[in-house]
Chain A
């Protein structure tokens, strides 16, 4: 009989302890209080894209302006061709293609781009990067195969669209110089660095974030 009693006690005691602990817990909980701070941070985005590009090509080849040579301005012919297109997959890339270029072939393209992100940006810098040729130091300097110039707008701030200041216009000019080879393809990139308006960014940092293609 005693053995039976002690066995049932062994079973009851843990239940009793649990019950007591629960009761204590409830009572304890009632005498304290917890406040919560629940924070949600949704980040914005720095994003710019090309919106248009128009080159001077009405059929006849445009002539450099101003005319950099000593000889008279020739009669215009329809020889070279410049096309400018925004990459369909990545609108941050603009393709400028010159076909049948020849020394003294020149063109000027007006390019537009917009701040389509949510963070204001500032045009920090730009870089013309020839891939397989030497850049001429000036239009007609003839110390390189191609002269490329980008008119920058560095320092301008662009608010996110649709703000009035969300778009910028710039122009890019190029000129095929005398050292250029025949039947050759020259490649170059022009990088325009749009950085968050309030933080300075070096060209290297911008290049590291540039789209790859």
Chain B
């Protein structure tokens, strides 16, 4: 009689024993799980409050409000196209413009996204090189229900450096003034059409500009 256990039985026994140990081990352990959900924010800026005024210089004196009886001679108007899209454009049209007549459009660029942004000085992409076609007086505005307060860099009466930026949090705005004006020295043709484009770039606050 062979007293040794058969090799096959021994293997099965070993498996059963190991399984038993495994169950016991599982009962005395614990697994923690991290279930992650990432909701991303958004970078978004829009045109906010926009106002326009028409002024005129009389015999080269400082600009004054356009007299009522001269109001029909030249006009400017504005319209926001593609609002709330990624190609939002402020279209400004002047008709009947003449030397020393001014169209001044003050506009807000409001941060409406959840991610703070750096809004850079508006850059002229194309257009005539009139001395007085410019965006000036840019400054950051904290908008609240009751009041406005200004803070940060302010380019009073002048164009800001192209590298300057303002950090806007949701609800903050950058307010700038666009002046459309030409003089006789600019050699502007009568009954002609001139076009210009300004770009306003807003970037996530913590990423550098290339």
Residues of A within 8 A of B (CB): 30-47, 117-120, 159-160, 196-200
Contact = CB atoms under 8 A, between A and B. Distances in A.
B95 interface: yes
B93 interface: yes
Interface in B94-124: 94-101, 107, 109, 113, 115, 117, 122
15 contacts: A35-B89, A36-B200, A37-B178, A37-B198, A41-B196, A42-B97, A43-B98, A43-B192, A44-B96, A44-B98, A46-B98, A47-B190, A120-B70, A198-B101, A199-B60
Contact of B45 (A35, A37, A41, A197): A35
A37 B203 CA distance: 17
Contact of A42 (B87, B94, B113): B94
B173 interface: no
A40 B100 contact: no
Nearest to B96: A44
Nearest to A165: B69
A166 to B, nearest CB: 12
Contacts of A196: 98-100
Given A34-B201, A36-B200, A159-B69, A42 B59 contact: no
Contacts of A37: 89-90, 92, 107, 122, 135, 178, 197-200
A43 B98 CA distance: 6
B138 to A, nearest CB: 13
B77 to A, nearest CB: 10
Contact of A38 (B56, B92, B191): B92
Nearest to A201: B184
A33 B96 contact: no
Given A44-B97, A199-B59, A39 B189 contact: no
Interface string B68-89: 0110111000000000001111
Given A37-B197, A43-B188, A46-B98, A118 B73 contact: yes
